[in-house]
Structure 1
Amino acid sequence: MHILIVDDDARLRSFLIRGLVELDFTVAEASDAIEAREQIANLGEMLDLILLDITMPGEDGLTMLKDLRHKGIAIPVIVLSARQEVQDRVRGLELGADDYIVKPFAFDELLARIRAVRRRQENTPIMTWGALRLDLKHHGVHHANKKIDLSPREFSLLTVLLEAKGKILSRDNLLQKVWGIGLDPGTNTVDVTIGRLRKRLHASGPVRIETVVGQGYRLDTKGEESN
């Protein structure tokens, strides 16, 4: 498990690194949000968890957390903070933190929370189609480790297509599953959304949505196959 510690307290970082490395965790560190963003960009898909301090020079931890989630970066985050008021904990969780631990804390408690986050990660439903990966919990989509930004509707449409495992889905079927409505003969809603989704997938890799004339759509079974 690869962990990034983001905290301006060098002594705390050193203490945590020493303890985590002894337990065979791989650890990176950053003293502020600028360094943290560089580490996140460099580590990419290797990064499993961020331990994030709130009070740091420059951009504070909660602002950074909010921005990460806004950009669709779903890496689990445990907030480390001396702020112990209920409203502070609630705000951190509402902004997208997976857990919140108040300083000072016992290393064993932090370790237990890290392991709990890891268990939740392992139980997160993941759908795959070749190198395409959908994280159903965090609505994350990646192809060959490259992030694909989708709207909620596009994500739902892609999920339904993956669930079909290459079988043809009619427009009416897609409207019911994705939009929750029946077919209006004059609507081109499905076609327009399929078009947008195709462009996003094509820009990231060879995943292709095939049009079957007179029948509907399916993921191209001649390309990548479902795992």
Structure 2
Amino acid sequence: MSEWAPKRFWKITEVSEEAGGYAVTLDGRPVRTPAKAPLIVPTRALAEMIAAEWDAQEDKVDPRGMPVTRGANAAIDKVAVQHAEVADMLAAYGDSDLLCYRADSPAELIARQAAGWDPLLDWLAAHYGVRLDPRTGIMPAPQSEAALARLRAEVHGMDAFELAAFHDLVSLSGSLVIGLAATCDVQPIEDLWALSRIDEHWQAEQWGVDDEAAEAEEIKRRSFLDAKRFYDALHPST
């Protein structure tokens, strides 16, 4: 793999207000996305996070340390141009949501899943007026179309930037419900991540921790937390 990376060529990183939002400039020149679109984001808070990532680059630019910039690029270059398709893909998680597929044994795992996941399904019912029903085993069983339609409408109502963050919250957890709960601050984001890993953590307790799997999980966990930071920056406290 090539180790080539662009070198830092600028001295001053700033945020500027532009038509339609906020831009980040490097020595006065605006940052653009990989598709060469202007990188303009809807809130100053998000632009400042992007600017901080660019300002933190030293001799060489390392995109791996710029998750917020990558999220903004994805929102502009990818999600905005296929919004309906992305929304449909994420809404489809509701029909096979992690929280609805329960173990039939052992009793300890059954109880752990119920204690962690039932409150989130109860919250979903109270907040959105729809209930997703748990199933035992791994065989697929469809949820109510009315419930799925209500949740689909919620996802389609997100803008491209919200949807870019929501993509990671849902796909990394395997749960539309956890993704929605994260956007609504139902529980601390670290707790929601832990709830998405009940099965894996139980297996590790039985058979021991696999170092490679643990490393992969940590990468996903950081990405999940980054997605929450991205989403929150779109809704700064007033």
TM-score range, shorter chain: 0.3 to 0.5
Q: Compare the two structures and name the one with the higher strand fraction.
A: 1
Larger-gyration structure (1/2)? 1
Q: Compare the two structures and name the one with the higher helix fraction.
A: 2
TM-score, normalised by the number of residues in structure 2:
0.32
Bigger relative CO (Cα 8 Å, ≥ 6 apart): 2
